[in-house]
Amino acid sequence: MSQKIPRRVILGVVLLTLSGEIAWAVENQYFNVFIYSQIAPVPLYVSLMVSITAAVSTFTTFFLGAYSDIKAKRRIFLIVGYAFWVITTAIFPLAGLLQPVVLAVSIAILFDSIMSFFGAMANDAVLNAYVTDVTIQENRGRLSSIKELMFLVALLIVYALSGYIIEAINFYNFFFLIAGIVAILGIPGALITPEPENLVPNEIGYWNTIKEAFSFKILRENHDFTKIQVSGAFFWIAFNVFFPFIIIYLEYGLSIPTFEASILIFIALLISIILAVPMGIVVDKIGRKKVAIGAVIIEIIGLFFFSFSRGIEDFAYIAFTSSLWVFGMISFNVATRTWLKDLYPEDKRGQTHGYYLLFTILGGMTIGSLLGGFIAGIFGTPYTSPEGVPGSIPPALLFMIASLMMILALIPILLAKEYRKKA
């Protein structure tokens, strides 16, 4: 395979990643904000939605990733997944029209789960396998960094503009708008993306493939692969202690108005984008392990000092410390995802990515968000919504605990070995 990645492949990955990450960014934050502000200010409701949809995403990736390996096709899954992603994003806010609160929360979780199914099928199961299909070790970091850059751009767009858009057109129309953006970018991206060359069908059969996946054979046989996954689990458990509540914390915990909060997020993301541009090249040049270790250390420092933020008077301080933990997260993503892709079996890339979801999404988002929800419920400031629904405001303690928990992510990475191909 040539080291040069075709432009059509790059354009397809850019459009698919940008649209998908916009949808995921909205789902990861503004679905949470919607439940908290429009239905009930109860952090545990947010945690339950995050946990359940994490499970849906994980098992979808396993089963649909295996199916795409069996069929040796990626493009059709991208087309179908992104088309239905549009529909399911648009219907989510309809849950807010229901009463009582328990019914509204239940339907919101159901709608989010359906959305997560199609998003995981297209993005997590197939697009990530596709990136591995069309690259080799020598250029994989470059395409991975492009994906991470689009992730940052999506975050920049969503977090910097969503507050203004929601105030201007309300929450319900906001989700319709996001669905339209996913349609305009994602569906054309899926249509122009070429099928990978020389993709060979997995001939052992679907259920044998699933059985093999859940036998955890690769985890038993490839200890370095397992160590990276365990490190990712620790990292994302710690990260999700606070991340589902970050917008809620800024708005309700630090009392930062929408305009100033948008500027804060814009600054943090812009700095991270600038620093992340060369990260794929750095990962290819100095190695996955060194970058991953440095990323965790930066994440620990950023979260620790961010926890001391007091409010709008600490504007520059919040911008700087949040830039640290955003950059640490992105760097860890680029390094570990590229490292894992180096170790994927060639005929099982779709299903193998399910292990990433098992550790980082199912493990990280379920354990981390539930822990964060319990902490917010016990130690948060009591709060009652304008509609009279009691709840609590997430505390700064979430960031301190997350910082301390991040230390665990260093241990497996330090023990893992990186095998570099000689030029």
Neighbours of 225 (CB within 10 A): 20
* The predicted structure's pLDDT at residue 6: 78
384 has a pLDDT exceeding 70: yes
* The predicted structure's pLDDT at residue 134: 79
273 has a pLDDT exceeding 50: yes
231 has a pLDDT exceeding 60: yes
Q: Cα(412)–Cα(287) distance, rounded to whole angstroms?
A: 16
Q: Is the distance from CB of 291 to CB of 283 less than 8 angstroms?
A: yes
Q: Cα(271)–Cα(283) distance, rounded to whole angstroms?
A: 19
- Return the SS3 of 385: coil
Convert the pLDDT of each residue in 183-209 to its tens digit: 999 999 999 888 887 777 766 777 777
The more confident residue out of 2 and 278 is 278
* The predicted structure's pLDDT at residue 73: 81
- Identify whether 5 is part of a domain: no
Percent of the chain with pLDDT over 70: 92
Q: Cα(175)–Cα(164) distance, rounded to whole angstroms?
A: 13
Convert the pLDDT of each residue in 351-360 to its tens digit: 566 677 788 8
The more confident residue out of 392 and 197 is 392
Q: Cα(268)–Cα(260) distance, rounded to whole angstroms?
A: 12
Q: Are strands 381-384 and 390-393 parallel, antiparallel or unpaired?
A: antiparallel
- Residue-level length of the chain: 423
Average pLDDT over residues 365-391: 93
pLDDT band at 349 (very low <50, low <70, confident <90, very high): low
- Identify whether 423 is part of a domain: no
pLDDT band at 347 (very low <50, low <70, confident <90, very high): low
Q: Cα(363)–Cα(58) distance, rounded to whole angstroms?
A: 9
* The predicted structure's pLDDT at residue 208: 76
Residue 319 burial class via C-beta count within 10 angstroms: exposed 0-12, middle 13-18, buried 19 and up: middle
pLDDT band at 422 (very low <50, low <70, confident <90, very high): very low
Task: Identify the DSSP state of 359.
Answer: I
Residue 400 burial class via C-beta count within 10 angstroms: exposed 0-12, middle 13-18, buried 19 and up: middle
Mean pLDDT over each residue of the chain, to the nearest integer: 86
- Identify whether 370 is part of a domain: yes
Highest mean pLDDT among 122-131, 135-144, 213-222, 325-334: 325-334
50 has a pLDDT exceeding 90: yes
- Identify whether 2 is part of a domain: no
- Whole domain around residue 83: which residue ranges? 10-415
385 has a pLDDT exceeding 70: yes
- Identify whether 65 is part of a domain: yes
Highest mean pLDDT among 172-186, 247-261, 347-361: 172-186
The more confident residue out of 120 and 147 is 120
* The predicted structure's pLDDT at residue 45: 96
CB under 8 Å to 108, separation ≥6 — which residues? 31, 34, 35, 39, 49, 92, 95, 96
- Return the SS3 of 383: strand
- Identify whether 239 is part of a domain: yes
Q: How many domains does the chain have?
A: 1
* The predicted structure's pLDDT at residue 86: 93
- Identify whether 63 is part of a domain: yes
Max Cα distance, the chain (Å):
65
Measure CA 355 to chain center.
15
Task: Give the DSSP letter string of 17-84.
Answer: HHHHHHHHHIIIIIHHHHIIIII---HHHHHHHHHHHHHHHHHHHHHHHHHHHHHT--HHHHHHHHHH
The more confident residue out of 111 and 210 is 111
pLDDT band at 423 (very low <50, low <70, confident <90, very high): very low
- Return the SS3 of 286: helix
Angle at 304 between CA 296 and CA 280, to 5 degrees: 30
pLDDT band at 237 (very low <50, low <70, confident <90, very high): very high
Convert the pLDDT of each residue in 282-326 to its tens digit: 887 888 899 999 999 999 999 999 999 988 888 889 999 999 998
- What's the chain's Rg over C-alpha atoms? 20
Q: What is the CATH number of the domain that holds 234?
A: 1.20.1250.20
- Identify whether 390 is part of a domain: yes
Sole residue written with tokens 């926890």: 307
Percent of the chain with pLDDT over 90: 44
H or E stretch covering 391: strand 390-393
Q: Cα(226)–Cα(232) distance, rounded to whole angstroms?
A: 10
The more confident residue out of 423 and 397 is 397
